[in-house]
Amino acid sequence: MGIAGEEMIRAGKVGSIVIALALLSALPAYSQWNGHDGWVEETNGKTLADDPGHSYLDPASVHRGDDGLVYFNESNGVTKPEDIGHSGIMKDAYDCARNIKYMCVGSGDWRNDQSSAIRTSDDPALPIYRKYLCGDDASAASSGSVEKTAPR
């Protein structure tokens, strides 16, 4: 085999490596949307306004209040993975017994303000809320056995 043949083989190997690296570099961008620093995406969850971005809840912030509601931080309107935990931060509450999410708690009369309350029984994000906020799953909520929620 001559010098030209060896150079073609070497070029083919380099080309294969470049293609493999290009394909692998695309993977981290997708996986970042699945969660960043522990934040969990609320899959197509309802928000107060039509928002083109993604919403994430912070499992590290989840705690049960004296009133029985589960409180957590949410990052709303996230359009880039690096904005998770920095964009649209608000404190929310979740009523595991009634499947109601209260958004922007602490301002005004949020418990009686229907504009801040979202019924999540038919929300695509219900399994996320049940798992990370209530400690069970959506099937428990639909079967009526939602009282088994564990405090966090």
pLDDT of 81 higher than 70: yes
pLDDT for the residue 123: 86
pLDDT for the residue 27: 43
pLDDT of 14 higher than 80: no
Do 96 and 146 form a contact (C-beta atoms < 8 A)?
Answer: yes
pLDDT digits (tens, 9 = 90+) for 90-115: 999 999 999 999 988 877 778 788 88
pTM assigned to the model? 0.66
CB atoms within 10 A of CB 94: 25
pLDDT for the residue 151: 39
